Chains A and B, each alone.
Chain A
Amino acid sequence: GAGVSQSPRYKVAKRGQDVALRCDPISGHVSLFWYQQALGQGPEFLTYFQNEAQLDKSGLPSDRFFAERPEGSVSTLKIQRTQQEDSAVYLCASSVDSHNYGYTFGSGTRLTVV
């Protein structure tokens, strides 16, 4: 597609529920990133893929967070047993290769945990 597509745009989850957030990067983009953005704050790094390999997951806040990109294209960020502090916008970004850092971001998924 023309841009990075994320779904769903909005997700309301009850505390303790598992959620899965999807990212469709720009076709052919090698690098894929997940960021978490709290209200009024800048994005914070979660994890990075180069093709299907997860090269950096140092930003994942707990073992409840898991990300995958099995075929080097679509990625899913999964959060198990959601907590209120997980409420945020989850942004996905892709870039054409690992040396191009002018990422293209998607519009994000706004997760609200109630």
Chain B
Amino acid sequence: EDQVTQSPEALRLQEGESSSLNCSYTVSGLRGLFWYRQDPGKGPEFLFTLYSAGEEKEKERLKATLTKKESFLHITAPKPEDSATYLCAVLRGAGNMLTFGGGTRLMVKP
């Protein structure tokens, strides 16, 4: 059975304090790993798709990396507006459904 586990569940950072969020997955036939950001009361907002081990993608203060077992979302010098829940999800097999992890709730204090 596919498993996607995110850690930590919650993370408090001071503004400017860089850190990483982890997404571990157990799937066969991975077709892609996705990162989303979700603000309270909103739907998830697409950030990145990674397709193969070794791939990296960047957007502003965020960088996502992928290995055969896990993905990291690195946040460099975060700002309070980066506070949100970050979700990862995997796509596998022939279907089109994403399997999401439980999310990491990030709080960045000024």
Contact = CB atoms under 8 A, between A and B. Distances in A.
Given A42-B89, A42-B103, A101 B45 contact: no
Judged by DSSP, the binding face of B is strand
Interface string A73-84: 000000000000
Interface in A66-107: 91, 93, 98, 101-107
A42 B101 contact: yes
Contact of A101 (B6, B49, B102): B49
B96 A31 contact: yes
Interface string B39-83: 001111110010000000000000000000000000000000000
For B4, B97, B102, the residue with the greatest tally of chain A CB atoms inside 10 Å of its CB is B97
A108 B49 contact: no
Give the interface residue-count category, chain A. 20 to 34
Contacts of A41: 102-103
Interface string A15-51: 0000000000000000101000000111111001000
B60 to A, nearest CB: 17
B20 interface: no
Contacts of A4: 43
Given A42-B87, A45-B98, A107 B44 contact: no
Given A42-B89, A42-B103, A105 B44 contact: yes
A8 interface: no
A4 B103 CA distance: 22
Contact of B97 (A40, A45, A104, A106): A45
Interface of A: 4, 31, 33, 40-45, 48, 55-56, 58-59, 91, 93, 98, 101-108
